[in-house]
Structure 1
Amino acid sequence: MDEFARVQAKYNEEAQKRLRPEGAAQFQTLEQSDSDQLRHLADDFWADHAALDALPSPLKPGDRVKFLIAGAGIGGIGAAVRLIEAGFSADQIRIIETAGGVGGTWYWNRYPGLHCDVESYVYLPLLEETGFVPTQKYSSGLEIRKYLEDIVKKWDLEDKILFRSKLDKIEWDEAARLWNCDITAGRGPRGDEKTTFKVQAEFVWGTAGLLSKPQVPKLSGVGIEGFKGDVFHTARWNYDVTGGTQEEVFPELSKLKGKRVGIIGTGATAIQVVPCLADYAKELYVFQRTPAAVYGRGQKPTDPEEWKKIAGEPGWHEARRQNLALHISNCAPPGVPDLVDDEWSRQVAYASLVGDPEFAFVAPEKIPEVIGQFLARDAPNQARLRARIAEIVQDKETAEKLTPWYPVWCKRPTFSDTYLQTFNKPHVHLIDTDGKGVDSVTPDGLIANGQEVPLDVIVFSTGYRGPSTDGADPSKRSGIEVHGRDGKTIEESWADKGASSLHGYAIHGFPNLFWHSPLQAGVGANHAHVLDTQCKAISYILATAHQRVGGPKKSGITVEVEEAAQEAWSTKIMQGAGRFSTVAVCTPSYINNEGKAVDLTASPEQQMKQARASPYSGGLNAYIKELQDWRDEGSMKGIQVAAS
């Protein structure tokens, strides 16, 4: 057996160890847990409830608003700003946010060492519009959160956001051409005094993040309630337990001195947290189901002279973003420089997951050949990664256990100059579970590999509910009950043919409703770029529709996708779905819905339905061009606009 074949056999062997018949059901989200303690792990530790209670409410029972945006993360803030840039006013916009502040994932996540894994010069939104200069190539979570707060102030949105509130249900009123919206709002010292009320909105825009619902594995034994020590999730870091504050990037976790700490999970969060825990814990135990692919970070401060070159020309921000997408999709023409020039831009096989023009449309019989081509493309990269681990980690057995055996597109790659080095410290212990995960909880610790590990603190770094669960239905992902024309839900609308939309952001039968979604849309490693692409596209549609019937203050307008246009786009998505069969060779993760994304035993009809739930196959830049060509055509083809 040659080396390439040996590696593929190893990939398959390791993936099979991790497959479970229950798939994603092996996890439970914190907010839906039967455990009262786990549900409270999802509480908002960061909100200043007294200050929020003192604010006048931007939404009152019976209000009617032009735009109601669900979510104040990068997507929701971007939606509001792009609407304002398109000619609407901030006063026409209201935002509903479950948290006590803005930022989405950057509000909730405040764990030690947190940084974005994408270059700040392409990740941070609206850089050209604000003139902000990131302090480092990869911004800290703290810097991102503060920057998003500044954007809200700059565009006069501070008093337009209803915090600690959730959009529960929307129902389309055909006669009034409005959405009737049910909202639950929190007040009080802990934000848990709930009131419900109704408002009306002409347009609703859902912006739920890809990974917004923290989850933990279902563990047997005494349960979390039976553990005598402290427990929390990295998405809700508890500084009362560890010491330090969330206002520091690398806080002093002084309360962990003398403590035995166990962290479950070794994904993108853990590779940042583990080195910080190791600096303070007496003993640190890292429980691993699947090793992470850990490349070098290459962090550096922003050089003022270099910044002048980066941001020297109008349009630089979008150009740099598209340059990164071009290189990740491995379709940069000869002579086009790699502007970002980091490990992301060198992951030429990641196009397997995000699409590219070369393999945009693959005949079914060619799928095995395409998978083979991507595996071959990735082989040098994986060999380089394995050599890096072997060089850094001093203990050979530990190095072998930290070595990932899956292609780059199967799990999001990670980047650190300290994670692997941490395992050279004598008080840091890797508990590799050979793909099985932790067995159970005891009053004094965790059982893994049949042995108890005594612990004082348990940290869950076990990620989030995947975006492809529930058939990628955007209403279920956002937790909003949606009833469109004739009372239909999206699930009912999709029952016969499967997922259907135009460009991934609007659905026939649901007028004046728009979504951010990876479904039937372009995707990329830089999700902030994806979100801004959709924000610009939706804002253009809304502005153009209003211009046609009386301007931005006109009411009684409906904007709806035509069924024929939706079907044509969905068919195009289905025709390009074959190239994403590359996830069939992957180890289980949220990317392939814990190994359930590709069902080779499904009927042809079911496979066609599954195919319609795919991303756009040609890559993000080709998707952007599709939207631009559609816009340049001038007629908003496939969008019906009416006014009373």
Structure 2
Amino acid sequence: MAARDRPRGSAGAEPYDAVVVGAGFSGLYLLHKLRGLGLRVRVLEAADQVGGTWLFNRYPGARCDIESIEYSYSFSAELEQEWNWTELLPGQREIEAYLNFVADRLDLRRDIQFETRVVAMTFDEDEASWLVETEAGERFVAPFVVAATGILSAPLAPDIPGLDTFAGTTLFSNRYPREGFDLTGKRVAIVGTGSTGVQAVPVVAEQADHLYVFQRSAAYTLPSPARSYEPGELAGLKARYDEIRAAQLTAHVGAARLSAFSVLVNMREFPSLLAASREEQLRAIEERGVTGALYWSDVMFDPEAGKLATALYGEAVARIVRDPETAASLTPTYPFGCKRPIIDQGYYETFNRENVTLVDLRKGAIQEITPTGIRTERGFYELDVILFATGFDALTGALTRIDVRGRGGALLRDFWSTEGAISYLGLQVAGFPNLFTIQGPGSPSAASNFVAAMEHHVEWIADAISAVRAGGHRTMEALPSAQAEWIDGITSLVAGSVVVHPDCNSWYNGANVPGKKRMYTTYPLGLPEYRRRCGEIAADGYAGFKLS
């Protein structure tokens, strides 16, 4: 790009055909894909290594809830056959190693600039280009920018008085030390019992002198099938990769085999809980534990069935956890299905250990952190280590922390704050031409196999950029009317369901972030239908977008 083609104010900026923000699963594949189109691409990554979410979330017990052979790239048969997974559900270290293998195998690092945090992106309307600025003052200019920033990459900082006064060690699940941390003989607190906390508790309990689990909201969690592959098992799966990938394309969540969503997707196939006798209900939890309380067709669709399932789930927990008060505190109060299912490895059993104490914050909230521990309304807990597992500003948080300005200088964070987390297809936001988002609000995103959904987005975006360039256009931009229609359609599809229930406070609807507009924006009809709709839109000359 010649200097005269650069946006105003971009003198000295390095020109590219496309800038990608993030070098996790999405950014790596996007770089490979855009390179294949002959584009000059630069990936900007805040960390010093590839990996995205799986680089930062190194907490004890971190593990994927989708089978390894499906939580992997499908675009390359060579990658599929060359990489050898060791576990059915891969742990953090194995996924991080896999992404480094891919980066090296495809020679991607030469186009990735590490330790580069993007702080601003500004669209120049006259030149139809984006100026991207970094924390270090570097500037890049490109007609296209793709945010491969992840859906769970903007951690929420705990807002607790006295946090900075703690004299012990403060750890955060989303930036856990790479070298690990020795918890042996320590009095440890885990604050938060979402997926991260549930995974960490059993592992930390085995190391710590005493573990205090600070729980604000009890979660539904199902036993994990995680295990090592048997000898010859992976080779058999590799021989069937074509069959497995084909099945993924027709699976509601983009995972044909094991996933945390299987119970939700298949619930309609089970009998009715309201129609079941008391003997049948008890037999279900005797035979299948907590899962027996939830495997009924009407649990997510009939409020009375949902209440009964929660009560039955509590009975199942009480059969595992010996202390009645602890078991009662571990029983959720929100309707099942309003949050992403959690899978665990011995979570409830851990509360039978003598060195584990549940602190139910519904009975007494945290008042402050002192130099020596945590004080609640019901008592004081002396601690050596506090591990915070307090969640993320999902879907939009990574971009709202960047100063993103579109047409007329409109600030993206202000738009999402006022209008809610909306976009068209989860791919673009009206008013921000040539800025593509991977798995943005309005896409299947968190309600799917992230990798399968991501690959579709990368391929769709690459095709769209090719269409803009081949057609002699300069910009592609979502129309406000199409964007509103898309989000209104999602809203109507989930009306009356558990995901919009008043008691459902989830990162799915933004309720976990103070001040964030509450709305459900994850596409609910599944990945195959979403892919079909996106294909139709592209075939119709990118209906709902303006190419100019």
Do they superpose with TM above 0.5? Answer: yes
In structure 2, what is the equivalent of residue 155 of structure 1?
Answer: 106
Query: Which deviates more from structure 2 when the two are superposed, residues 504-513 or residues 585-594?
Result: 585-594
In structure 2, what is the equivalent of residue 615 of structure 1?
Answer: 522
- Residue type matched to 1:512 in 2? N
Q: 1:518 to 1:437 in 2, by over 3 A?
A: farther
Q: Are residue 416 (structure 1) and residue 339 (structure 2) matched? A: no
- Residue type matched to 2:44 in 1? I
Distance 1:495 1:381 in 2: 36
Cα pair 1:63 1:199 within 8 Å, conserved:
yes
In structure 1, what is the equivalent of residue 149 of structure 2?
Answer: 208
Q: Are residue 516 (structure 1) and residue 423 (structure 2) matched? A: no
Query: RMSD of aligned C-alpha atoms?
Result: 3.4
Q: Are residue 286 (structure 1) and residue 213 (structure 2) matched? A: yes
Superposed, which structure 2 residues align to 1:560-575 within 5 Å?
560-562=477-479, 565-575=482-492
Q: Give 1:107 deviation, angstroms.
A: 0.8
> Structure 2, unaligned stretches of length 5 or more?
1-10, 269-297
Cα displacement string for residues 265-310 of structure 1 (whole angstroms, at most 9, x for unaligned residues): 1221122222222222212211111122221111122343465356
Q: Give 1:317 deviation, angstroms.
A: 2.2
In structure 2, what is the equivalent of residue 190 of structure 1?
Answer: none
Q: 1:419 to 1:495 in 2, by over 3 A?
A: closer
Which residue of 324, 328, 333 maps to 1:400? 328
In structure 1, what is the equivalent of residue 173 of structure 2?
Answer: 234
Q: Are residue 635 (structure 1) and residue 541 (structure 2) matched? A: yes
Distance 1:81 1:340 in 2: 27
Cα displacement string for residues 367-394 of structure 1 (whole angstroms, at most 9, x for unaligned residues): xxx9972446656764664344223222
In structure 1, what is the equivalent of residue 511 of structure 2?
Answer: 594
Q: Are residue 100 (structure 1) and residue 48 (structure 2) matched? A: yes
Superposed, which structure 2 residues align to 1:442-481 within 5 Å?
442-467=370-395, 472=396, 475-476=399-400, 479-481=401-403
Distance 2:397 2:166 in 1: 36
- Residue type matched to 1:544 in 2? A
Distance 1:268 1:576 in 2: 26
Q: 1:274 to 1:313 in 2, by over 3 A?
A: closer
Distance 1:498 1:115 in 2: 31
Cα pair 2:422 2:521 within 8 Å, conserved:
no
In structure 2, what is the equivalent of residue 4 of structure 1?
Answer: none
Question: Following superposition, which runs of at least 4 residues in structure 1 exceed 6 angstroms of deviation?
Answer: 492-499, 595-599
Distance 2:237 2:169 in 1: 49
Which residue of 520, 536, 547 maps to 2:470? 547
Cα displacement string for residues 171-202 of structure 1 (whole angstroms, at most 9, x for unaligned residues): 22233222122222xxxxxxxxxx30222112
Distance 2:132 2:457 in 1: 23
Q: 1:548 to 1:109 in 2, by over 3 A?
A: same
Cα displacement string for residues 398-430 of structure 1 (whole angstroms, at most 9, x for unaligned residues): 222222222222333221232222111111111
Distance 1:294 1:159 in 2: 42
Distance 1:282 1:473 in 2: 36
Q: Are residue 526 (structure 1) and residue 453 (structure 2) matched? A: no
In structure 1, what is the equivalent of residue 367 of structure 2?
Answer: 439
Query: Which deviates more from structure 2 when the two are superposed, residues 310-319 or residues 173-182?
Result: 310-319
Q: Are residue 88 (structure 1) and residue 37 (structure 2) matched? A: yes
Q: 1:375 to 1:144 in 2, by over 3 A?
A: farther
Q: Are residue 117 (structure 1) and residue 65 (structure 2) matched? A: yes
Secondary structure at the aligned position of 2:117 is classed as strand
The number of equivalent residue pairs is 504
- Residue type matched to 2:320 in 1? I
- Residue type matched to 2:433 in 1? P
Which residue of 153, 160, 166 maps to 1:219? 160
Superposed, which structure 2 residues align to 1:15-94 within 5 Å?
61-84=12-35, 87-89=36-38, 92-94=40-42
Q: Give 1:435 deviation, angstroms.
A: 5.8
> Structure 1, unaligned stretches of length 5 or more?
1-59, 185-194, 240-244, 247-252, 328-338, 352-369, 550-555, 600-608
Cα displacement string for residues 226-276 of structure 1 (whole angstroms, at most 9, x for unaligned residues): 22222121222247xxxxx34xxxxxx6x4333221221122112222222
Q: Give 1:453 deviation, angstroms.
A: 1.1
Secondary structure at the aligned position of 1:557 is classed as coil
Identity among equivalent pairs (%): 28
Secondary structure at the aligned position of 1:269 is classed as helix
Cα pair 2:300 2:336 within 8 Å, conserved:
no
Q: Give 1:580 deviation, angstroms.
A: 5.5
Q: Give 1:110 deviation, angstroms.
A: 1.2
Distance 1:590 1:326 in 2: 21
- Residue type matched to 2:318 in 1? A
In structure 1, what is the equivalent of residue 532 of structure 2?
Answer: 625
After TM superposition, the score normalised by the length of structure 1 is 0.70
Distance 1:429 1:496 in 2: 42
Cα pair 1:310 1:316 within 8 Å, conserved:
no
Distance 2:430 2:458 in 1: 19
- Residue type matched to 1:203 in 2? F
Q: Give 1:203 deviation, angstroms.
A: 0.5
Q: Give 1:147 deviation, angstroms.
A: 0.9
In structure 2, what is the equivalent of residue 486 of structure 1?
Answer: 408
Distance 2:51 2:205 in 1: 28
In structure 2, what is the equivalent of residue 325 of structure 1?
Answer: 253
- Residue type matched to 1:112 in 2? P
Q: Give 1:570 deviation, angstroms.
A: 4.6
Q: 1:592 to 1:486 in 2, by over 3 A?
A: closer
Distance 1:617 1:597 in 2: 25
Q: Give 1:573 deviation, angstroms.
A: 4.0
Q: 1:586 to 1:533 in 2, by over 3 A?
A: farther
Secondary structure at the aligned position of 2:87 is classed as coil
Secondary structure at the aligned position of 2:530 is classed as helix
Q: 1:290 to 1:321 in 2, by over 3 A?
A: farther
